[in-house]
Amino acid sequence: MEVVGICRCCLAQGLNKDLHSSYLWLDKKENYADMLQQCFSITLTSNGNKAAGICDNCIKTLRTSVTFKQQVLHADEEFQKLLQNVDKAFQQSHCWAVASSHAEKD
Ligand SMILES: [Zn+2]
């Protein structure tokens, strides 16, 4: 559904998409109000039953932001795995050092 009015993210006037409708983009369903909530925890002020618009520029920025958030979260997961591997490697080398120092004493 297209909305004539202001973009709720930048106040640009024009023909905008509806924030609360779902649209298909690259075979994926996207809902801009949900994306704003998930990415930034923003819930826009309701204007009653009137549709709220979002312009194409803001949709692009929002998509980029969502992708960036997912990238950072994914990178952090991978970083945690790396840390665990470093910990394991340290523990293994430490155990080996303890074991070898015992061996030297015996
Ligand atoms: Zn906008």
* Segments making up each domain of the chain, as ranges: 2-75
- Look at residue 106 and tell me whether its pLDDT is greater than 60: no
What digits encode the pLDDT tens for the residues 1-40? Answer: 788 889 999 999 999 999 999 999 999 999 999 999 999 9
> Identity (one letter) of the amino acid at 63?
R
CA angle at 65 for the pair 18 and 29, rounded to the nearest 5°: 45
Spacing, Cα 7 to ligand 1 middle (Å):
5
| 95 among annotated binding-site residues | no
Residue 2: predicted pLDDT = 85
pLDDT tens digits, 57-89: 999 999 999 999 999 999 999 999 999 888 888
pTM equals 0.76
Amino acid 99: pLDDT: 67
* CATH of range 2-75; options 3.40.1800, 3.40.210, 1.10.45, 1.10.1740: 3.40.1800
User: Any known ligand binding at 55?
Assistant: yes
Rounded to the nearest whole angstrom, what is the distance from the C-alpha of residue 70 to the centroid of ligand 1? 22
